[in-house]
A and B are shown apart, each in its own frame.
Chain A
């Protein structure tokens, strides 16, 4: 019995403390170093912040360069898929265009009316936009985020909205000097205050880690109300981070808790980083 325990101790010691010919550090030293780094990275000291930002800058740029061949393959793959479905897409787009032309007329009228009403209550919305390129778009199975090529140098701040066309795609969660990281709506940690239209119900859209979101914290009568209508999910503007009315997605017909996002996060190349300011002139 004592011998087997001795064997274990010898094997354990040899594994953790002994250095091989070409190893400069023992495993135990490096294990302690990683624990030290984990603890250190949680302190918000200025020097740690600077080192972290420096590491991020170098790694993001290097990763962008290393990912060039994979991105090319991705692009070719998407192009082939697009070519395969070109005729079906054309037919769908034709009917959609006709519908949109009709809606545009109505939309122009509503915009004019909206501007008039804002003037009446002396309110205006100012927004700053920064166009950013997606540097890294790694769809990790655990966290969904993208790295953008604009940072504090371009006045990007934590919490700003990331928009794909007119659709909300996520928000900025980390800012370095020349780049920043945005958490996508599909990430489990993303929670966006939203408004369900036309039933005018407040809810929270939460990410699921997959390509769709989920409706949370809404009224009890929610399932009854949505059974017959097509529900579009917009940002509600609560919390003051996002402008109200940014389209997020629509409620799926198969599952009334599921939100199919308008933006396709796998195809993001360029996005806009936007901050809003509601000016009350009263």
Chain B
């Protein structure tokens, strides 16, 4: 009986995977800028939060997402709380999608993701540009949204595999 309840290190590390990657990504700002590709940028945190809060919200708590947003703001240098609000709005969108979806479908998720990040980036631009009067490059936001949307299937595939492993390991 005790062996059934035994939680191995690999199980724990798998279940904390989304949180660890989220914090690494906000601390490290995965941007691949050393590749020196002009205009290339994508928002890894948006993909990660969207996927995990949609597919397996038990492994990515809202409080961790809130703290990750605060860290992201401090590192990028924008007013504290803006990224947290945006990240939590992604969570709201995924929670709503989860509630209204009976049979999940990749294309629907992908299109919902596009709609969500367009909405989130618009809100961020409105807050920064109109309220805080920080000049922004709209083209960069648009390109960033485009690449984030394009990269979603790749990360969906990777995260889906990990998610399946987590489910299998925790049910072992």
Query: Which residue numbers of A lie inside 8 Å of B, CB to CB?
Result: 7, 10-12, 14-16, 20-27, 30-31, 33-38, 40-42, 52, 55-56, 59-60, 62-63, 66-67, 70, 73-74, 77-78, 136, 138-143, 145, 174, 181, 188-189, 208-210, 266
Contacts and interface: CB of A to CB of B under 8 A. Distances in A.
7 contacts: A15-B96, A27-B92, A31-B88, A34-B81, A56-B74, A138-B76, A141-B141
Contacts of A266: 33-34, 36
Contact of A142 (B28, B66, B140): B140
Nearest to B38: A210
B104 interface: no
| A interface, over-half SS | helix
Given A7-B100, A140-B29, A141-B143, 17 more contacts: A12-B96, A24-B61, A33-B66, A34-B85, A37-B81, A38-B85, A40-B81, A63-B27, A63-B71, A66-B27, A73-B34, A141-B137, A141-B141, A142-B128, A142-B141, A143-B76, A143-B77
B79 A41 contact: yes
Contacts of B41: 141
Contacts of B100: 7, 11
B62 A30 contact: yes
Given A21-B58, A27-B91, A209-B140, A66 B74 contact: no
B18 interface: no
B28 A139 contact: no
Which among A30, A77, A141, A209 has the greatest number of chain B C-beta atoms within 10 A? Answer: A141
A35 B77 contact: no
Interface residues on B, range: 35 or more
Which among A16, A74, A77, A140 has the greatest number of chain B C-beta atoms within 10 A? Answer: A140
Interface string B1-43: 0000000000000000000000010011101011010110100
B128 to A, nearest CB: 8
B52 to A, nearest CB: 12
A267 B33 CA distance: 12
A140 B81 CA distance: 17
A31 B75 contact: no
A14 B70 CA distance: 26
A140 B76 CA distance: 7
B66 A209 contact: no
Contacts of A10: 99
The list of the 6 closest CB pairs from A to B, nearest first, reads A15-B95, A37-B81, A38-B81, A209-B137, A11-B99, A66-B27
A52 B92 CA distance: 27
